[in-house]
Amino acid sequence: MEIITAVRGFKDILPEETGRWQRVESKAREIFSSFGFREIRVPILEKTDLFRRGIGEATDIVEKEMYTFLDRGEEYLTLRPEATASVIRAYLEHSLHATEPVAKLYTIGPMFRRERPQKGRFRQFHQIDAELLGLDDPRTDAEVILMLVHFLKAVGLPDPGLEINSLGCPACRPSFRKAVTDFLQGREERLCEDCRRRLGSNPLRVFDCKTETCAAIIAGAPLLPDYLCRECRDHFLKVQDSLGIFGLPFRINPRMVRGLDYYARTTFEVTTDYLGAQNAIVGGGRYDGLVKELGGPDIPGIGFAIGFERLLAMIPADRESNADAPELFIAALGDEAQQFAFRLCNRLRMDGMRTEMDYHGKSLKSQMKRAGKFGCHHTLILGERELREGKAELRDMSRGTQETVSLEGIEETIRKTARAR
């Protein structure tokens, strides 16, 4: 019978990989918590209208990439393609805005987009998402960006590069939109099909197009910072000043638009050229009108989303430790030694020590080979003779040294050895 395989674009995360995931997740929780963020967990399935209203009808995500279905003829549901809309839906549904004037929330989990699978891109992918709601102070923007860069450096991302821009506000963006529309007149036929179709609904999407032809055309287009109103210009300057307080280097990218319609004012990306070509692994920005668009009061917000798989691909392997390896392997020879090892192994586990043993009665050579494969820190070796004499051999696997230890008080001896490592 043929083996059933995973759906194209969906990837299993095997035990050899999960340790890396857990370490990054743990560091995110540690750092985000120190900045006052709290975890929220939202469903992976939402009403389709949430994303149509929140992300925007004229986006690639809504038009092409969402997994949407009719739920037994009742209503359209969608596997979440991003987390911000879901977090804000929960924020409003549970009236968090009424009890928390400023809410700092983060969530970690899978998202779904029907994109073309390629290296580092999957149809089920994971994001670390952070949202700060209730403040429009420019220092808030800098605080969120500072937290992000601090986290990326803490997990070992080499040389993260920060790019920022301002997308203006409803007061000043229309003049920029008109300037772009005027610029594109007479050039429509050279644009890709998607950009031509969006000229009427959202011509700024051209800045986000990845086709070479559209990129070449837009290279001579007007730039958004030249059209900012005084309030937006002042806000953007204060963001830059606030980043400067921490000596955080950045580059202004006047062509950065981002792919979601809800962004306004500050927008940012973090890139790295660790894998050769420059890659954006984080995108974010301010979305002051999104809460109102989703039926809530006019509450400002800013946030970001980190592509988990892309981040892991860019963390050098030598920055990681073998933190999940068993601290102790017990190599027992003979029935009585196996019974002793079984009792000791599980007592140590219940005390919080990562401990493994062999249940197959294999030779000492085979058991030592298995201990080495596990990456165990130490191995306790005992047989029937050692049991009678009340002793065992404790081997340091990294140093290759070995010492004889008494079985009396062996648990405490092992704990002290592990702590001293």
Same-domain pairing of 245 and 390: no
Asked if 261 and 59 touch (Cβ cutoff 8 Å), the reply is yes
The secondary structure of residue 118, as a DSSP letter, is B
The secondary structure of residue 101, as a DSSP letter, is S
Span 356-378, mean pLDDT? 91
pLDDT band at 319 (very low <50, low <70, confident <90, very high): very low
Half-sphere exposure of 88 (CA within 13 A, CB side): 31
Same-domain pairing of 297 and 359: no
39 inside domain: yes
Of the listed ranges 9-23, 68-82, 132-146, 258-272, the least confidently predicted one is 258-272
pLDDT at 318: 52
pLDDT in tens, 44-69: 999 999 998 877 776 778 877 899 99
pLDDT in tens, 212-235: 888 888 888 888 889 999 999 999
Q: Which of 153, 142, 105 is nearest to 281 (CA)?
A: 153
Span 153-169, mean pLDDT? 91
Q: Residues 6 or more apart from 131 whose CB is under 8 A from it? A: 84, 87, 88, 103, 104, 105, 106, 301, 302, 303
Asked if 202 and 261 touch (Cβ cutoff 8 Å), the reply is yes
> Residue 360's domain is classified under what CATH number?
3.40.50.800
> Residue 291's domain is classified under what CATH number?
3.30.930.10
Same-domain pairing of 344 and 306: no
Span 377-394, mean pLDDT? 93
pLDDT at 190: 84
Same-domain pairing of 153 and 275: yes
pLDDT at 173: 84
pLDDT band at 255 (very low <50, low <70, confident <90, very high): confident
Span 362-366, mean pLDDT? 93
The secondary structure of residue 125, as a DSSP letter, is E
Asked if 262 and 55 touch (Cβ cutoff 8 Å), the reply is yes
Same-domain pairing of 240 and 342: no
* The residue to which tokens 């900012």 are assigned: 228
Asked if 207 and 196 touch (Cβ cutoff 8 Å), the reply is no
Span 294-321, mean pLDDT? 85
pLDDT at 296: 94
Same-domain pairing of 267 and 335: no
pLDDT band at 420 (very low <50, low <70, confident <90, very high): low
Of the listed ranges 23-37, 134-148, 196-210, 368-382, the least confidently predicted one is 196-210
pLDDT at 277: 53
pLDDT at 417: 83
Same-domain pairing of 233 and 361: no
Domain residues for the domain of 112 are 15-172+228-319
Same-domain pairing of 141 and 272: yes
